[in-house]
Amino acid sequence: MCLCSLATPDHPTDFPYPIAALLPQSQGMVLLDRVVETGEDHIVVELMVRDDGLFSSPDHTVPAWVGLEYMAQAIAAFSGYHRKCRGEEIGLGFLLGTRHYQCSVGGFPCGTRLRVRAEKIIEAANEMSVFGCTLEGDNINASSQLNVLLPKDSTKFLAGKGI
């Protein structure tokens, strides 16, 4: 069991890794700021909606559909954390699809703090998983189920696909 597996909202622990150490994305694409808590089947992360032009609009909002990327990165952080706990390298994961993305706003105002929770619902033997995700902020709520593929060896997986 990793050090932070025992963290709860009432008793958080200092997380031992910076968020970028858990994600395969290059630094500019890391949209999350920190892990709040994690457990065997869930992770909670926080982020400040950025106004750096990557996804931000001239009106200083980020489109609500980017919430799916926040959720996918939360799942990637969950996978990366558990890989580190097992002494494995961080690997690529693949977002296969989403179900029922609903968001209470059309865009996230830049500078808004959001909290994303991803909870594993199903983990299949074929390395596919389904996560239930929620995103919350000041008068902001979003939810979805994300279908992901988290191969143990993404290099081998991609090589087998001719990529």
For the stretch 70-125, pLDDT in tens is 999 999 999 999 999 999 999 899 999 998 999 999 999 999 999 999 999 999 98
- DSSP structure string for 121-147: EEE-TTSEEEEEEEEEETTEEEEEEEE
* Residue type, position 80, single letter: G
Instruction: Write the pLDDT tens digit of every residue in 27-62.
Output: 789 999 999 999 999 999 999 999 987 899 999 999
Predicted confidence at residue 6, as pLDDT, reads 44
Residue 163 pLDDT > 70: no
Q: What is the CATH number of domain 3-159?
A: 3.10.129.10
Report pTM. Answer: 0.88
